């Protein structure tokens, strides 16, 4: 007898429909899986057998062939355990075929028949809804996530036996609110614990505070360079709290990405906070950008809509960093493999932090780094990558006097009624002016000319800066975009020469090239001038 069940396989950030066909035929008992199944699916044979037996159902005593169609689509993961088990029950006559009419299913089975969650259930639910599914059968822990798709009936159960009883009774009710088992708590090594939503105003870092405001208002990428202990990491961790709250579409897209990556979530199943991802500098290119035979999103895509913080930027391999150049420019990452091509969204605000030299104390008597070591250290950062960083800041450690004053007078907190309100006002002005409400960072040349409101004398000064500093076209355009954001923060309609001069304060590494010097020598000159 032949039975069919509907399910889906993940491909990038999308799900592809898969029909699970189960056929019982005379022959030696055994279960054969065909249809480009990976190891996890091949091992489902033993899980399904044990789950059926321990749930009180008859196991197959004949030859069983399970086909996952289409046959040329590579499938992976344990989410096919449930549809295979249901197909076996229908083929063996233990469950009526009309019970699964128009229903999709996805879930992993334990040896005792317990249903376990699987990754990417939100993408599967979206596909089922778009193809007119009558409902979706999932594990109890996946019910709330699947129920995020409006208009899709979700039926969840703790075990295979409970689910079969629901199907026999026709009780396909919405079960997203039923009690769920607590998943074991797991720590994600790449995620940094978020501080309290109270941005700090570190002494002597007023320019850095303004840089954070520019990054939050205009979406500009930020590079901070300074010795250890000057507050680079602490400042970067405050940026997500200065970004606007997520709307429903953004929250659903970010939740879908994290679900496909199999990221554990606590509390609400819909992510409502802007992501903050901080991968270690030993991360590989596949971990940072994504990859695999069936590509999964990496840290860059997991930070979509939020902040990607690269601490110790100079310690990352140059080959890894250079692969960020195109995604940062376009906001999407395209991964091509021999059999598949996937596109992952990665519209992030990049915040990078690094020391001025390997020891971190360049220009200080404590530094023992030679000029060759400093140049070698900075050669890890290519010119095209630095060209894509809108804001470049040099940070100094706070003095003991300023630290004592901060502690004694309790002036360690930003004026929360001032900075966030200023950023929100600038963002409203920017969205009302720019086409499609895009950020200033995403303005094209023609859009910047039509909507930038840049005065003619500002353009004249900009041309002089371009010639003196020998800026590339990309750097020059970023200078104008930052100037536009500075004017928005000031609440002014036109971009003046003063705004351009302020923007130049955030191009710390565009030193005047007298005779043409290397990026490493720029840093050496900065260190000697400290």
SS3 category, 314:
helix
pLDDT at res. 369 = 85
- Let me know whether 150 and 242 are in one domain: no
Tokens 């030679």: give the residue: 370
Measured distance CA(451)–CA(434) in Å, rounded = 6
Arithmetic mean of pLDDT, 126-138:
95
221, 215 Cβ separation under 8 angstroms: yes
- Let me know whether 487 and 437 are in one domain: yes
Residue 261 lies in a domain: yes
Arithmetic mean of pLDDT, 102-115:
96
- Let me know whether 165 and 210 are in one domain: no
Residue 513 lies in a domain: no
187, 142 Cβ separation under 8 angstroms: no
- Let me know whether 457 and 336 are in one domain: yes
- Let me know whether 69 and 130 are in one domain: yes
Comparing 174 with 136, the larger pLDDT belongs to 136
Measured distance CA(513)–CA(1) in Å, rounded = 79
- Let me know whether 161 and 307 are in one domain: no
Arithmetic mean of pLDDT, 8-33:
93
Least confident among 160-164, 333-337, 405-409, 413-417: 413-417
Q: Report the domain count for the chain.
A: 2
Q: How would residue 71 be classed by pLDDT, with cut points 50, 70 and 90?
A: very high
Beta bridge partners of 155: 137
Taking the CB of residue 153, how many other CB atoms lie within 10 A of it? 18
Q: What is the largest CA-CA distance in the chain?
A: 87
Q: What is the CATH number of the domain that holds 102?
A: 3.30.230.10
Arithmetic mean of pLDDT, 38-44:
92
324, 281 Cβ separation under 8 angstroms: no
pLDDT at res. 270 = 86
Whether the per-residue pLDDT at 180 is higher than 60: the answer is no
Residues spanned by the domain of 321: 206-504
- Let me know whether 165 and 281 are in one domain: no
- Per the structure block, which two tokens stand in for 170? 């026709």
Handedness of CA 11, 13, 16, 21 (dihedral sign): positive
pLDDT at res. 87 = 96
pLDDT at res. 61 = 86
Q: pLDDT digit string (tens) for 275-313?
A: 999 999 999 999 999 988 788 999 999 999 999 999 999
Residue 397 lies in a domain: yes
SS3 category, 252:
helix
- Let me know whether 108 and 235 are in one domain: no
Least confident among 118-127, 176-185, 295-304, 372-381: 176-185
Measured distance CA(171)–CA(292) in Å, rounded = 40
Taking the CB of residue 221, how many other CB atoms lie within 10 A of it? 19
With a pLDDT cut of 90, the percent of the chain lying above it is 57
Single residue among 169, 188, 218 that ends a domain in this structure: 169
Q: How would residue 406 be classed by pLDDT, with cut points 50, 70 and 90?
A: low
Q: How would residue 230 be classed by pLDDT, with cut points 50, 70 and 90?
A: confident
- Let me know whether 162 and 210 are in one domain: no
Whether the per-residue pLDDT at 173 is higher than 90: the answer is no
Whether the per-residue pLDDT at 413 is higher than 80: the answer is no
pLDDT at res. 226 = 86
Q: pLDDT digit string (tens) for 184-219?
A: 333 333 333 344 444 455 555 678 888 999 999 999
Measured distance CA(493)–CA(420) in Å, rounded = 20
DSSP code per residue over 2-46: EEEEEEEEEETTEEEEEEEEEEEESSSSEEEEESSB-HHHHTHHH
Taking the CB of residue 339, how many other CB atoms lie within 10 A of it? 11
Q: How would residue 336 be classed by pLDDT, with cut points 50, 70 and 90?
A: confident
Query: Which of 112, 102, 56, 58 lies closest to 81 in space, CA to CA?
Result: 112
Computed over every residue of the chain, the mean pLDDT equals 85
pLDDT at res. 205 = 67
Measured distance CA(106)–CA(95) in Å, rounded = 18
Arithmetic mean of pLDDT, 359-377:
83
- Let me know whether 107 and 24 are in one domain: yes
- Let me know whether 272 and 213 are in one domain: yes
pLDDT at res. 209 = 83
With a pLDDT cut of 70, the percent of the chain lying above it is 85
DSSP code per residue over 133-168: -SEEEEEGGGHHHHTTSTT--EEEESBHHHHHHHHH
Q: What is the CATH number of the domain that holds 474?
A: 3.40.50.300
Arithmetic mean of pLDDT, 473-497:
93
């Amino acid at each position: 007898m032949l039975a069919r069940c509907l399910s889906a396989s993940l491909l990038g950030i999308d799900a592809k429909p898969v029909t699970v066909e189960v056929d019982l035929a005379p022959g030696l008992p055994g279960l054969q899986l065909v249809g480009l199944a990976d190891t996890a699916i091949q091992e489902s044979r033993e899980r399904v057998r044990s789950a059926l037996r321990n749930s009180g159902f008859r196991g197959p005593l004949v030859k069983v062939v399970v086909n996952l169609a289409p046959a040329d689509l590579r499938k992976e993961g344990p989410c096919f355990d449930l549809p295979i088990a249901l197909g076996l029950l229908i083929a063996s006559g233990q469950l009526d075929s009309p019970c699964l009419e128009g229903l999709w299913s996805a879930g992993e089975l334990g040896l005792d028949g317990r249903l376990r969650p699987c990754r990417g259930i939100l993408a599967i639910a979206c596909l089922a809804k778009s193809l007119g599914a009558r409902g979706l059968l999932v594990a109890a822990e996946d019910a709330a996530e699947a129920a995020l798709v409006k208009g899709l009936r979700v039926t969840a159960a703790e075990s295979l036996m409970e689910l079969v009883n629901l199907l026999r009774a026709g009780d396909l009710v919405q079960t997203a609110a039923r009690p769920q088992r607590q998943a074991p708590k797991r720590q994600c090594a790449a995620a940094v614990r978020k501080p309290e939503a109270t941005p700090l105003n570190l002494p002597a870092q007023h320019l850095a505070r303004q840089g954070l405001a520019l990054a939050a208002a205009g979406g500009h990428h930020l590079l901070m360079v300074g010795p250890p202990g000057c507050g680079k990491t602490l400042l970067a961790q405050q940026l997500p709290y200065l970004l606007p709250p997520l709307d429903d579409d953004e929250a659903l897209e970010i939740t879908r990405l994290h679900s496909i990556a199999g990221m554990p979530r606590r509390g609400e199943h819909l992510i409502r906070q802007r992501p903050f991802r901080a991968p270690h500098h030993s991360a590989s290119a596949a971990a940072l950008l994504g990859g695999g035979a069936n590509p999964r999103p990496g840290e860059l895509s997991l930070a979509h809509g939020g902040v990607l913080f690269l601490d110790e930027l100079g310690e990352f391999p140059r080959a890894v960093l250079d692969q960020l150049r195109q995604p940062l420019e376009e906001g999407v990452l395209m991964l091509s493999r021999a059999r598949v091509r996937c596109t992952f969204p990665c519209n992030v605000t990049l915040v990078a932090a690094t020391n001025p030299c390997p020891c971190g104390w360049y220009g200080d008597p404590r530094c023992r780094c030679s000029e060759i070591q400093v140049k070698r250290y900075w050669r890890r950062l290519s010119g095209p990558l630095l060209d894509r960083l809108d804001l470049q800041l040099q940070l100094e450690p706070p003095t003991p006097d300023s630290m004592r004053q901060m502690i004694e007078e309790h002036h360690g907190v930003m004026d929360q009624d001032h900075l966030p309100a200023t950023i929100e006002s600038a963002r409203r002005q920017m969205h009302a002016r720019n086409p499609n409400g895009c950020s200033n960072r995403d303005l094209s040349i023609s859009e910047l000319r039509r909507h930038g409101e840049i005065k003619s004398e500002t353009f004249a000064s900009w041309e002089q800066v371009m010639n003196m500093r020998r800026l590339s076209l990309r750097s020059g355009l970023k200078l104008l975009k930052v100037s536009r954001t500075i004017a928005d923060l000031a609440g002014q309609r036109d971009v003046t020469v003063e705004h351009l001069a302020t923007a130049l304060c955030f191009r710390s590494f565009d030193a005047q090239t007298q005779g043409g010097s290397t990026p490493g020598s720029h840093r050496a000159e900065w260190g000697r001038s400290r």
